[in-house]
Structure 1
Amino acid sequence: MTEDHGKLRISNADRDKAIAQLQAALDEGRIDLAEFDERAKTAYEAKTNAELDLIFDDLPGGRPKEGEVVAAEPAEAPEHDRPRGPRFHQLPALRGLVTVGVITTGVWAASSIASGEWHYFWPIWPILGLGIATIMQVVNGGWGHRDWDHGDAGERHERRAREREERHERRSRHHRDRY
């Protein structure tokens, strides 16, 4: 950027493009929500191109050019985030079904052998319950290990929608307060 470019005053449209670029960085996970808020506040307070350019110094793609919002190159998933192995490892309900099924059947068999007669096969109930959960998981496309560890995808979607709405409301309030 030339020195003259940095001294030029920016418009509200420039600020809005910068916020859209920051939103893309937030969606990609390059910045967190607190950092997004801080940078968005700086963008709204910026008066010159130089001030606005500083917000994007450490982000790939830099500040968006006229009429664009640049999504940075997608980062390759870290090795530990990639699903590996057979489908068994990607279906937590199936793992639970097998684990609970083996343990409860083992307890049932041991108690039946110890008493000398075969008892009612009570492990069928937890096995049936987990079997239904497994079938539901397979029908719904399975839940990857990330969803299992970090909450339901629907909850994440709702949380992101709420966060977007809150950011929009803050921006609207900021614009109303300025004018």
Structure 2
Amino acid sequence: MPEPHLLAADADRAAVVTRLDASLADGRLTLPEYEDRAARAHGARTYGELAELTTDLPDPVPTPARTRPQRSAVHQAVHQAVHGGAWHGAWDRDLRTAWTGWAATAVLVVGIWLVSVLATGDLQYPWPVWVVGPWGAVLLARTVGEHRRRELST
């Protein structure tokens, strides 16, 4: 840590609390000790006050970086064929997740509506359209917009 008399920032206080969290999880601190130290960390003004809170704790052990195993050329080609195309990237994963949620909800509400129609024998108002319709329209607009943006950027 920098010199003890220098003022600490919010990020410094958060880093100490994160270290205290890990020590609590490891069993090095009891809950009352953790609560006391975390409260003092949030109220600390200087690096010296923060350093006092972790002097009896071991230095954190860095976790080794995970490396992906090398893929064979065949595996890469299959991966590209399956996962390539229109659905790739973080934005597309978000879209795919959103569409999956929409489809699951659509199946659920249409199923509920269908059971109620079969149970009563009356053809009821198709209310599921108000649940899945607007949501689907927004998702469709996002999907089309993303595909157009990709076409323009290539």
TM range (shorter): 0.3 to 0.5
TM-score (norm 1): 0.33
